[in-house]
Structure 1
Amino acid sequence: MNFKVTPNNLTRLEKIFGEAKYELRFEKGTFNSGYCVLEHKKVVVVNKFLNLEGRINTLLDILGGMDLDETMLSPESLKLYKQVLENRNAPDAEDNTEEKSPSPEQPSEN
């Protein structure tokens, strides 16, 4: 997903979690993936030591794997959330096309 790394975009992603009634917390912890999601308590904890780009990428990753109630989101947040979901599988499709493309022929050594 072509998502610019700006503080405003981080705020837009945080807003989606708030509208979906998830508590988003940036705290210190030992996270293998940089975050922890507690579905039953609706809490998302993100490593506070991540830089801006790391925070945005982590939130995009989390949103891509969640099924949120879209009726709770504002039109702006819903649009962004749908973009995240649409682009979630885009890298997989690109990887498959790269694997299927024929490799260039190697010059023969005579």
Structure 2
Amino acid sequence: MAVKYTKHFLDKLENLFASSEYMLRYEKGNFKSGYCVLKETKIVIINKYFPLEGKINALIDILAELNFNPQDFSDKANHDFLRELQQTTLKF
């Protein structure tokens, strides 16, 4: 699957987090990587001043780090989308 840097693609990534147990927030902050994952409280914070491409890349990095299981998502669209993302390797 090719990563598309569009608002629609960002919305699909945000829907994955909305369907998971993690809360996604956009805040200002001085994050070295552009995001912060608070695993104990299950909160993901993305730098709100990131451009669209940066937000998408950060969310994909976080998805890989958190290792979500597609079986945990009841919505078939989220299930399929996450499976496709997990099979994608980004090359920078």
Q: Into which bin does the TM-score normalised by the smaller protein fall?
A: 0.7 to 0.9
Task: For residue 70 of structure 1, report the CA deviation from its aligned partner.
Answer: 3.1
Instruction: Determine if contact 1:26/1:48 at 8 Å carries over to the other structure.
Output: yes
Deviation at 1:69, TM superposition (A): 4.4
Q: Spell out, residue by residue over 1:5-56, the C-alpha distance to the aligned partner (whole angstroms, 9 max, x if none).
A: 1111101000001101211000011111000001111100000010111111
* Corresponding residue pairs, total: 90
Give 2:23's aligned amino acid.
Answer: E
Q: Which range moves more in the overlay, 75-84 or 35-44?
A: 75-84
Q: Which amino acid aligns with 2:78?
A: S
TM-score, with normalisation over the residues of structure 1? 0.74
Q: Letter of the 1:76 partner, please give it.
A: A
Is residue 18–residue 24 contact of structure 1 (8 Å, CA) maintained in 2?
yes
Structure of larger gyration radius: 1
Residue by residue over 1:46-95, the C-alpha shift from the partner in whole angstroms, topping out at 9 and shown as x without a partner, is: 0001011111111011111212243442111111111221124x64xxxx
| Unaligned ranges ≥5, structure 2 | none
CA distance in 1, matches of 2:16, 2:38: 16
Q: Counterpart in 1 of 2:87? A: 86
The CA RMSD measured in Å over matched residues stands at 1.6
Deviating above 4 A after TM superposition, structure 1's stretches of 4 or more consecutive aligned residues are none
Which residue identity does 2:55 align to in structure 1?
R
The residue number in structure 2 matching 1:63 is: 63
What are structure 1's unaligned runs of at least 5 residues? 92-110
